[in-house]
Structure formats: structure tokens, C-alpha cells
Structure 1
Amino acid sequence: MQGIQFGHDPLRVAEEWKRQGRQVALATVIATWGSAPRPVGSHLVVDESGNFEGSVSGGCVEAAVVFEAQEVLVDGRPRVVDFGVADETAWRAGLSCGGRISIYVERIDG
């Protein structure tokens, strides 16, 4: 599994991975409340092997988002996932910054 690399544009990485024939999911921050480590519009791309590029939370919930992205690649259904400090999942994943984030996860087809 690749790690977070802030120097690469996740959308360009997604294009390259699609050209290589990989299945790709895109996770996008669609809303934040309070203190959030990444702004709305931040992206994380994930392939079917679990490789990822970009960031939606500065490392706080990436593992959970990678899992959701792989589920989207299997079933093809986009989804919104929410994380916040009151959410036990967020604490387990490390989102203890005091904010909440919503992330839209979709499969990139075509």
C-alpha cells in the first residue's frame, strides 16, 4: 500500500491509473465542520489493490476511507461517509481534532 504523498495531484494519478487499466475510486471532502485537517475539495484516489494517493484528513481517517473506496469498487455504489469526534469510528481512526468531515466516495468509470 502506498502512503500519503502531498506532492502529487490525486486526479492526475487517477487518470494515469485508469490508463494502466486499474480500477479507481475517488474520495472527495464535501463538507467540514469545526476544525478539519483538509479543506472541502481535497481528494484521495484508491485502486483495487489498496494503493492510494492524496489525502482527505491528513492521515486521520485515510485507512477507513480506503476501506470504503474498495467497497465502492466492488459494488459500484457511491456513498457518503461521515467522521467526527463524537463518532467512535473517528476516534478509532484518529480524527480527534474536534471537527467533522463528510467524504463522498465514488468509482471512476470510463
Structure 2
Amino acid sequence: MQLDRDEDILRAAEDWRKAGRGVALATVVETWGSAPRPAGSSLVINDEGTFLGSVSGGCVEGAVVTEALDVIDSGTPKLLEFGVADETAWKVGLSCGGTIRVFVEKVD
């Protein structure tokens, strides 16, 4: 499976902004242990919940999209953490034994 390239993700963000959509960018800033995607992996989300790219896969991405919609509305960035020691990890499907931190920011 080939994930979208960084250029595709950034192009989508630019196109959505030009079309008047609210946009957020989520980036994996840190991993520990087993993690589905490496640091630097990105996901771009628009205010309709459409997204491109990947920060983890599965339910974690659903949680990131939900948080990104809040960031688009508020303009306040968030640092999210999902890990096996965190009860949230099991709820969102990150039971691989690792931890990921994802920074979500609004694109202006």
C-alpha cells in the first residue's frame, strides 16, 4: 500500500485553503516503541472531515480528525498523545505497544 506523498498532502492543503475550506495539518512529532508511522508522517484535514495522508491508521486517525476539526474551529493547536499505557490507546485501537505524539495545527 502506497501512502500519499508529502507533496500531495501539502497540495491538498493549499487547494482546500484556496477553495475557502478550513484546514488543519496533523504531524507525528515523536514515537516510542512500536508505532505504525514514523515521526514526520502527516495527515491534512479539511473542515468537512475529508483527509489525506496518515499518522497512524485505524481509529487513531478518526480521533485525530475529530481533534483537527476542533483545531480548525478554535485556531488553537493541540499536542495529542496515544500510547499503550494510556487508556485512550485501547479505545482508539493503538495496542501495538508504542506511543505516538501528534501535533495538530490550523493552516492559514
Quick check: TM above 0.5? yes
Q: Structure 2, unaligned stretches of length 5 or more?
A: none
Cα distance in structure 1, aligned partners of 2:47 and 2:33: 32
What percentage of residue pairs aligned between the two structures are identical? 62
Higher helix share: 2
| 4+ residue runs over 3 A deviation | none
Equivalence for 1:62 = 61
Q: Compute the TM-score of the two structures, normalised by the length of structure 1.
A: 0.89
Matched, 1:43 2:64: no
Structure 1 letter corresponding to 2:93: G
- Deviation, 1:42, is 0.5
CA distance in 1, matches of 2:81, 2:106: 18
**Shift of residue 59 of structure 1?**
2.6
Corresponding residue of 2:10 = 11
For 1:48 and 1:58, the matched residues in 2 are separated by: 20
* Rounded Cα–Cα distance in structure 2 between residues aligned with 1:104 and 1:91: 20
Structure 1 Cα separation of the partners of residues 96 and 29 of structure 2: 18
The alignment partner of 1:27 has SS state of strand
Unaligned runs of 5+ in 1: none
TM-score normalized by the length of structure 2: 0.91
What do you get for the CA RMSD once the two structures are aligned?
1.3
1:86 partnered with 2:85: yes
